[in-house]
Amino acid sequence: MKKFLLIAGILSIGTLYANNNTTETNQTKATNLTAKQVEEQMKLEEKYAKEQKFYQGDAYDLKSKEINEKSLENLPAIEPDYDFDITDVYRDDI
């Protein structure tokens, strides 16, 4: 019985350690992907600033501007703030 508990404990610790490494790897990949996308957007902004012209609707390539669905999977959920108190908003003594 002691051997079984010892083996089960070792396996559970190993599983937790492997899961933690996978989470860190996913976060690193998401950070790298975000940095790459920001860099690409900065290059486009520099191009537009240099040209200084207004583009018409048919000049845009909207297909290339679509959001990559895989990059949205690792974004943290933003929880709403339900403790807003409106009593101070309309106070006249400010």
**Number of neighbours of residue 34 by Cβ within 10 angstroms:** 13
Predicted confidence at residue 19, as pLDDT, reads 59
Q: What domain range is 39 assigned to? A: 1-51
Q: What is the pLDDT of residue 73?
A: 84
**Is residue 70 one of the residues assigned to a domain?**
no
Q: State pLDDT tens for residues 40-91.
A: 999 988 888 888 777 777 777 788 778 888 888 888 888 888 877 787 777 7
Q: What is the pTM of this model?
A: 0.35
Quick check: is 93 in a domain? no
Are 26 and 74 spatial neighbours (Cβ–Cβ below 8 Å)? yes
Residues 6+ apart with CB under 8 A from 27: 74
Does the structure show a pLDDT above 60 at 28? yes
Residue 24 domain-assigned? yes
Quick check: is 21 in a domain? Answer: yes
